[in-house]
Amino acid sequence: MSAVPDLVVLSGSLASDSKCDRVAEWCAAQCAGKGARVRVFRGVELQFPFFRSAVDVPSCVREYLDVMERADGVVLVSPAYHGAVSGLLKNALDYVNELDDPDHPLLDGRPIGCVALAQGEQGATTTLATLRTIGHALRGWPTPLGVTLSGDHALFDETGSPAREPVRARLHVMLSQVISLSETHARRRAARLRA
């Protein structure tokens, strides 16, 4: 039995003409082309108040949390700011703490694809490691392949696609892992709803 997965792609940059937004949109298009329903949150959509636990969730965050709760898989795209994820993305992920269903809290059991962009490879690598750590802390499953983009590997062609074939190939592998695992999660979610 096939189930259509719902995927969420988060871009952690507010920069105009953001490379993170480009990667997020490209990843979303690839996933939609494989039959997934995809919602992209660009950085400008993640400008939430600082997260505080035990405080009512602001209405501007509610739609985001509703979408995250329904997600069968997530793709995180972050710039490297001093070797770590952007505060914008980290704050948005902190709000996932509000998904407190006792049977399926946080991002429990969902695949998380991770992409880190930086000017240099060191920043991209440490940011990727941080994204994967956050994914585990949210009880998700970072995909076996995470992707770093830096230097010439972070260039785009006139169509908005990553300019280098090896980059596209790595992203395709990671996205295939997200889709495959999210289909499993979608089937389980559908079975729970029928029960």
Please say if the pLDDT value at position 103 is more than 90: no
Task: Check residue 172 and give its pLDDT.
Answer: 98
Task: Check residue 1 and give its pLDDT.
Answer: 54
Q: Higher confidence at residue 103 or residue 84?
A: 84
Q: What is the pLDDT of residues 113-132, one digit of tens each?
A: 999 999 999 999 999 999 99
**Domain around 184:** 6-194
Q: Tell whether 84 is covered by a domain.
A: yes
- 142's tokens: 């970072």
Q: Tell whether 47 is covered by a domain.
A: yes
Whole-prediction pTM value?
A: 0.96
Q: Where are the alpha helices (DSSP H) in the chain?
A: 19-33, 59-70, 87-94, 121-137, 165-194
- CATH number, domain containing residue 47: 3.40.50.360
Percentage of the chain lying above the pLDDT 90 cut = 84
Q: What is the pLDDT of residues 22-63, one digit of tens each?
A: 999 999 999 999 999 999 999 999 999 999 987 889 999 999
Please say if the pLDDT value at position 151 is more than 60: yes
Q: Tell whether 1 is covered by a domain.
A: no
Q: How many domains does the chain have?
A: 1
Nearest one of 95, 100, 89, 105 to 51, comparing CA atoms: 95
Alpha carbons within 13 A on the beta-carbon side of 30: 23
Q: Tell whether 23 is covered by a domain.
A: yes
Q: Tell whether 163 is covered by a domain.
A: yes
Q: Tell whether 43 is covered by a domain.
A: yes
Give the whole-angstrom CA distance, residue 99 versus residue 166.
37
